[in-house]
Amino acid sequence: MVAYKALRALANTEMALFAQDEGLRYLWIFNGEGSWLELAANGKRDEDFLAPEKAQQCTELKRKVLATGEPDRFELQIMCGEVTRWFDIRLDADRDESGAIIGIIGASLEITEQKQREATLKTLLRELSHRSKNLLAIIQSLASQTARHSITVPEFLVRFRGRIQSLASSQDIVTDTDWRGAGLADLITLQVERYAPDGMRQVLVSGPDVYLSPTAALHVGLALHELAVNAASYGALTAQIGIVEIQTKFTEQEGQRCLSLTWHEKNGPHVDQDRNTRFGTSTLERIVPNSVSGSAELSYRHDGLHYHLMIPDTQFHMMQDKVAATQV
């Protein structure tokens, strides 16, 4: 009665039980429907219903158990149409009353979902490792460039902390979207607002919004940080009537669709170009455009600093529901 109830309980699980004789012919199969044993039947061997290489795998391990009398365990991978399924199979020797080995008894449990989770986890860990290395490379470059263009340790610390904070803020957006990227409008507000004395009142944002790739989000965020710090220290954001215009539009460059991002300052004090030939310039003119496979131009016009960045469409995709021409 206990054995009968136990079998009834097993019938509601993904576990199958089986027994084979010394010739590895199946004697009985319990709950094999829907598993790799579905086509098995009493009197059949593994080679009668499994692919040759899978049948050989099963047969070799079962013969080992018959020879040694020791339990064994293996995983069986089979294709069901276009779906890969995995089964955890445990084997033991079947013995008669005298202890002589007379066959095999076994249990099979489907572990396909577990394998899929493991594969997904491995993919995520590889992706995390890749992105972490990229992030560390960016930080290393930040440290090196900041040190190269800093005169004193306090100056280095202020500049480096600001850039790391900028990077961390952009990374927060990327992480919140499961590493898919970041909306450009969100990135602008995040990086610029903290340096604008009156919030975003002096910052006018117009043009289409796009969704930047993770790499582009980090580097464009860094460019916006450098521009905002410069504007708040020397440029338009230091004057009450100063204005920063940030415009985006779609264009083509060498036959490739691009997003044109323009930062234009107006009504600010005259900026001496020599004051800015430091790391900010390197970031804006070389590091950022190279990182997004684009191009950039930085100029000092009579009405304020002007920056133009071209981002190829490999680094962004459209946000159909976000086309704005507003003052943020």
CATH code of the domain containing 96? 3.30.450.20
* Closest among 27, 106, 45, 100 to 71, alpha carbons compared: 106
Q: What distance in Å separates the CA atoms of residue 197 and residue 232, rounded to the nearest whole number?
A: 8
Look at strands 203-212 and 243-253 and give their pairing: parallel
Please give the tally of structural domains in the chain: 2
Check whether residue 50 and residue 163 sit in a common domain: no
Check whether residue 103 and residue 124 sit in a common domain: no
Q: Which residue has the tokens 């006018």?
A: 204
Check whether residue 258 and residue 222 sit in a common domain: yes
Check whether residue 127 and residue 101 sit in a common domain: no
The answer to whether the CB of 182 falls within 8 A of the CB of 170 is yes
Check whether residue 302 and residue 240 sit in a common domain: yes
Check whether residue 94 and residue 132 sit in a common domain: no
Check whether residue 125 and residue 103 sit in a common domain: no
Tell me the CATH number at 293: 3.30.565.10
* Closest among 9, 24, 30 to 107, alpha carbons compared: 30
The answer to whether the CB of 130 falls within 8 A of the CB of 215 is no
Check whether residue 50 and residue 183 sit in a common domain: no
Q: Model pTM? A: 0.67
Q: What distance in Å separates the CA atoms of residue 29 and residue 43, rounded to the nearest whole number?
A: 11
In sequence order, the β-bridge partners of residue 310 are 260, 295
Q: Mind listing the pLDDT tens digit of every residue in the chain (328 residues)? A: 556 666 676 777 889 999 999 999 999 999 999 899 999 999 999 999 999 999 999 999 999 999 999 999 999 999 887 889 999 999 999 999 999 999 999 999 999 999 999 998 898 788 778 878 888 888 888 888 888 878 889 888 888 888 898 988 998 988 888 778 899 999 999 999 999 988 889 999 999 999 999 999 999 999 999 999 999 988 999 998 999 999 999 999 888 999 999 999 999 887 665 554 455 788 899 889 999 999 999 998 887 899 999 999 999 998 754 433 333 3
CA angle 287, 288, 292 (to 5 degrees): 115
User: Which domain does 106 fall in, by range?
Assistant: 2-110
In sequence order, the β-bridge partners of residue 74 are 89
- Domain end, chosen from 88, 110, 132, is at 110
Check whether residue 303 and residue 182 sit in a common domain: yes
- Domain end, chosen from 46, 78, 110, is at 110
Check whether residue 134 and residue 105 sit in a common domain: no
Check whether residue 13 and residue 138 sit in a common domain: no
- Domain end, chosen from 79, 110, 141, is at 110
